[in-house]
Structure 1
């Protein structure tokens, strides 16, 4: 045989033998790993199908998916897949794993101890889940780890010192968790390779020498200690601090309530390597001059600082080389005072300036507009005056401009706004403009706008069609002005349109031109619109909020209204709609608030409301022509907290199953918020909370509730033809605030346990046929500030020494058998009239004429007021992008003040 042929043949045999052996080994490996994979996925639920290739015949060598990179089971990446369930204990069987990333999911349960078996692991990311339990000590045995992320879970307890064994660690991210702490921070000094350290929300209150420890980490470039309860440092400094050559690039110390004494120990961190500095959420009275010498500093966050600071002093201390390097200055929600002077021109690199929600005053210097790189400017919610005329020599490159709630010099519309040729976001809401908007305003934009808010002014003129002015996913708010004419045609690729509270007229049939659309929010309420609602709403299947209330629409609701399956708010109050409700409306299963009051709807109250719209918080059908009985299916609405069926022609009895409305039993506001979304070019998608509102009869007067609507829990069945007794089960609604059963034909006795409804502020049982005595349990209703029992057949003594004596006699008239204060009629055995002490006076017609306290009395009383006030403020003021509704809320704010005063006054009479 030829030697060359022999050698080639031998090599082929050897190769074949090796391949056969590798195949046997691979088969053995695959059997074991197949079992491990199936055990791993068993407790997990992946809605995006990330395990669909994990079949019984899975081949690990060929396993590949967009959500999964797995090669011989050493690399497992399943992050951002909305995984549900727990981390499988069988994960410890995947002993080859060196990379494990299942962060940004919805996993719960504890971290399984079996992860401690993964001795080859170098990368571990379990962050942004819902994991609970204590921090596992066994992670300290995985000494190959270079990356650990347990951020954003629900872990608690002490951070184990065993983490100090991870001497190869380069990235460590823990917290923010609940009640976590570090008992001894010395273990951190062992992590000499650490580049990134985040301990947000973990208490370091007992660690007086944490600065020494942090500065001992020679490679550290990122440090975040946000909300760590940092303590003041003991002095004198150690030699380590004095000789430190810190190379930290990004430093976050927000939300620690630190005072300016902290600047003495901040100095070692502020070498010329520092680029990003966050000092928000403290009590700092400015910044020291040495921060003005940081020639590398590009970003400074100084928001939510509570000490009063002159803005000119603040800028002066940054006037060194920092003024040339600083690109982002965010100092909103602080206590800055004084003007925005021309010194701002020294900060020539500024690209973003946000000093909103401060106490700045005076005129805005023209020098501000000359900053060559300025693109984002937010001066909103200050006392600054924005001149209606500027003499700008150059075109500004500002793209994002928010001057809302600033003052204008004079009522004229600012024509200088036309020089901002690059704007895509403009907010001039509540700036005191009372003028006709120039026609050229709509033609000046070379690029489409993404956000325009001119609300809460007094601007007038017709609005041209908006097809070319706005970009896709854009937002426009022209509400609360004096715009008139027909509704402008708009692109259905827009996202949010609010034209409410103007003088628009005509119909809206043009919406049928939509072929498809992304519209999420449409509010055309409080105008003079008319005509029928066109039957072409199937193109609005993304709509979340539809408000057409307070117009002149008429006719039947079109069947296509049921195509809006994402609808959460449908507000049609105060129109002339008629006929029965379309059956297709049952398809709108996302509805939270349904207000069809003050129309001419007829027929029975549909049973499908209770059967299909289980998420309802608000159901208002008042002032229509509904007849028949109250359907029992309404008792299947567990989230319902406002039920208003008043002023109809309903008959029959009050269903006893209303006690099943569990949201009227438990404490708290709406179980869910009404959300819509705003997308701003160049910024992440953000969610905004729609401040819902409704007209409700409150203490005999129709009032419009805004922010307080979320706190109101009310049942109003008044002005119908209801008969029978009040079911005793209704007294189980212990969190109910208002109950109105007046103007019916109800009979029997008032339930003896009605006094257990201790949260009631308003109780109206007037103009019925109730008999018997007033239950003595009503003496427990200490928050009750409105009561009307007039025109019934009640008898006996009004319980004495209770809140019941504080009401006017007019609230008891028409009950011939009642006696005792505040009535002048004496009860048997009374020898002389009992002195009365009532709140308010009587005008002779049986009506209260007390001061504004009684007139404006809304929801309140003691802790109820405090809780409600801060919940409302949190929803409006802290959610800054929802605050355009603040100006509506302001009208009801004075009511809260009256509530507090009334609570004190009421306490003196109990």
Structure 2
């Protein structure tokens, strides 16, 4: 049974309070045949509030000043009392603009919900005190800021208050003390560090408070030793203090609520050592989340928690043998516990028989420990309804039994994760209703035909990657109509992809890489229009790249076809993949030109990131950073090395790799419009022509490989603007002229330019031909761009003489120390975009700058000193 999360309970509390208010205040706009008329002053206040806002979702479509729109009690989001006609309830969302104080002229408001709006860092006005009848106030996620007005203390009828996820500057919580009727309080994601030593004392003064959420509030590391408990709430049932800096002293305060607490969340704080024994005195607890701390042991008193259904201790420092830890949970807890999460600890040993005594337990998570055991047969008969088993990342071994005959065979929504173990043998037969199967990174062998027994259509997730499975894929995928994730990578499958794959209309991620699949990409795959991730790398697929990939799979973020036998041209329709983040067509037999429409890959040209992780049905555990989503993994050629990416990093890449094909023609000038591209690899093709002159616009480029082509011409001067470039290979082409001067270009090894005999300049050669004859003026690099840059520099040189004097001093040091200062010299002049061929040119300009400055000052001293004036022309 799934324990309700914070947001679910928030909604329940809000509903209960709303129902209570409805018993005392009518919200209908009509009573029988009598229609309640809008009060004019309140209508004007609503219209004034509207004027400061932009409507994102049409909530104001019924608001207006026309005759037919005068009855504000009929407007969307507005409800009035059926007795007085006053506006008593206002619910609006999706608005953007300023929070107009006119809203607080609605002095009869009982219920105000403005959650999830954007009020542009507006402050809550002091006039909010006029809402002295308000019982429900929800301003969560509104982009509000500033200090909270002390006038909030006047809202003494408040029962529900949510100010979470804003930018408030809160220095004290004293305004909470008079709100004695408050039952629900959420200040999550608000910095309360300045009131750390006082917040428990203030909470103690709210006798009816039953729901308190202070998630990620930067609460203090230590609490005061003595906290007055006068008027302490005896109603506090839900307490969420996750992601703070609380320590063991917190439990002293919590002990005062032993008889009321039902749900307690303390994950990701600074707790250490043993879990305090007094936890066992909180006998009404149903949920206890202590994950993400440094607890080292479980007290025996935990077995006294007779009502506890959910216990999360993952990501702690639990050590020792699993049988010993489980024995500390023995007692009446064995009858109630439904979910036990002990993942990411240092627990060793076998799976103890005493787990059988937990009669209500699967949701069972022992992932990422050091368990070593041949999974016993009794384990699969723990319960007739257990639905979640996670034993991943351990040292479990052996062969799995026929799981279709176990007690959970009729369980709906069964999720099994045994990945990253040492299991072997054939895949078992699974129950027909299974929802999620993860057996990745084991040693299973044989075919996957046993999966064809899954016939209910509930299977959403299937990952059997990194095993030793083989054979052809069975043509039974028509039964998996709900499948969203299918990962068969790194096995020994062969043959063609069956046409039944077209039945997977909800498929988001398909990983078939590192197998021996052959034939063409099946036509039926065009029906999988929800695909975002498609990895066919390292197989034997052949034929053309279908145009329908661009036409029908428009949601693709990642398309990886590397190391296959695809031939023909790159279809223009691939330019329609506006969401693509990673396009890898390398190491095939593709020919003809690169599509000119490449700039239409807008996700590589615009800052908006459309890539997303895929829905994953595995239960959300105690980690607040884990949102129950599956992260795709892929092998990517990054800066010349093949690396595996996953864990959320993959979606941060922006890559086009068309290397090792037979592409011809020029690099499209439109390539320069891919401003967000991080890596471009066009190497080992037959490309001709020049590098696009505006390539410097690709300011985020970190890796550029154009090697082993037939490119020619000068290197564009704009390449000096690629400030993030850390990997460059232009070798074995026909480039000529001077290498542009920049911090990056001169930092590369000469091997980046080898095989281009007509190139000159650092780091290949110290000078270019003709430099010796033209030292009286800066060289132009042999190109028009460099001539323009040089002329622009000389035109603006004189106004910068004083700066030149400082640089000149650096030049003198460069003469003496040469190598360390040489690069600094080049960097300084690179900022004014001067193309310098060598150290001599750099020093010449430095000395010339000094000369200009000296002449300017010496001329003021008179005729005699002019005899010493240096000549710039010499």
Give your verdict on TM over 0.5.
yes
**Which whole-Å deviations, capped at 9, do the CAs of 1:402-423 have from their partners, x for residues lacking one?**
1111221x45445543332211
Residues 1:447 and 2:384 aligned together: yes
Closer, same or farther: CA 401–540 of 1 in aligned 2, 3 Å: same
Preserved CA contact (<8 Å) 1:484 1:505: yes
Residues 1:381 and 2:315 aligned together: yes
Separation in 1 of the partners of 2:585 and 2:171? 64
**Which whole-Å deviations, capped at 9, do the CAs of 1:107-149 have from their partners, x for residues lacking one?**
455661369978887798739xxxxxxxxxx999996346414
Separation in 2 of the partners of 1:481 and 1:500? 9
Preserved CA contact (<8 Å) 2:427 2:450: no
SS in 2 for 1:526: coil
**Aligned partner of 2:234 among 290, 295, 298:** 295
**Aligned partner of 1:743 among 679, 684, 689:** 684
Preserved CA contact (<8 Å) 1:124 1:147: no
Separation in 2 of the partners of 1:261 and 1:272? 20
Shift of 1:345: 1.3
Separation in 2 of the partners of 1:744 and 1:70? 76
Residues 1:405 and 2:344 aligned together: yes
**Which whole-Å deviations, capped at 9, do the CAs of 1:428-452 have from their partners, x for residues lacking one?**
1112324433333223x12332222
Unaligned regions of 5+ residues in structure 2, if any? 1-27, 37-42, 44-55, 776-825, 831-874
Q: Which moved more, 1:659-668 or 1:432-441?
A: 432-441
Shift of 1:720: 1.1
SS in 2 for 1:771: strand
Residues 1:542 and 2:542 aligned together: no
Preserved CA contact (<8 Å) 1:599 1:623: yes
**Aligned partner of 2:398 among 461, 481, 502:** 461
Shift of 1:506: 0.8
Residues 1:330 and 2:271 aligned together: no
Residues 1:494 and 2:434 aligned together: yes
Residues 1:696 and 2:633 aligned together: no
Shift of 1:820: 2.6
Separation in 2 of the partners of 1:486 and 1:507? 7
Preserved CA contact (<8 Å) 1:123 1:148: no
Find the counterpart in structure 1 of residue 658 from structure 2: 717
TM-score normalised by structure 1 residue count: 0.72
Preserved CA contact (<8 Å) 1:376 1:399: yes
What pairs with 1:182-581 in structure 2 (closer than 5 Å)?
A: 183-192=124-133, 194-201=134-141, 203=144, 205-215=146-156, 217=157, 220-227=158-165, 246-259=180-193, 260=195, 263=198, 267=202, 270-285=205-220, 289-290=227-228, 293-305=232-244, 307=245, 309-311=246-248, 313-320=249-256, 322-358=257-293, 360-385=294-319, 387-390=321-324, 391-392=327-328, 393-394=330-331, 396=334, 397-408=336-347, 410-413=348-351, 415-443=353-381, 445-467=382-404, 468=406, 469=408, 471-581=411-521
Find the counterpart in structure 2 of residue 10 from structure 1: none
**Aligned partner of 2:77 among 102, 116, 126:** 126
Separation in 1 of the partners of 2:268 and 2:83? 44
Closer, same or farther: CA 190–830 of 1 in aligned 2, 3 Å: closer
Preserved CA contact (<8 Å) 1:361 1:382: yes
Closer, same or farther: CA 824–418 of 1 in aligned 2, 3 Å: farther
Residues 1:730 and 2:674 aligned together: no
Separation in 2 of the partners of 1:112 and 1:769? 66
Preserved CA contact (<8 Å) 1:422 1:446: yes
Find the counterpart in structure 1 of residue 566 from structure 2: 626
Separation in 2 of the partners of 1:228 and 1:806? 46
Shift of 1:569: 0.9
Find the counterpart in structure 1 of residue 700 from structure 2: 759
SS in 2 for 1:822: coil
Number of aligned residues: 715
Closer, same or farther: CA 230–781 of 1 in aligned 2, 3 Å: closer
Find the counterpart in structure 1 of residue 728 from structure 2: 787
Unaligned regions of 5+ residues in structure 1, if any? 1-67, 77-91, 93-104, 128-137, 835-905
Q: Which moved more, 1:483-492 or 1:549-558?
A: 483-492
TM-score normalised by structure 2 residue count: 0.75
What pairs with 1:762-777 in structure 2 (closer than 5 Å)?
A: 762-777=703-718
Separation in 2 of the partners of 1:116 and 1:343? 67
Separation in 2 of the partners of 1:174 and 1:619? 42
Separation in 1 of the partners of 2:499 and 2:165? 53
Q: Which moved more, 1:601-610 or 1:263-272?
A: 263-272
Closer, same or farther: CA 291–737 of 1 in aligned 2, 3 Å: farther
Residues 1:607 and 2:547 aligned together: yes
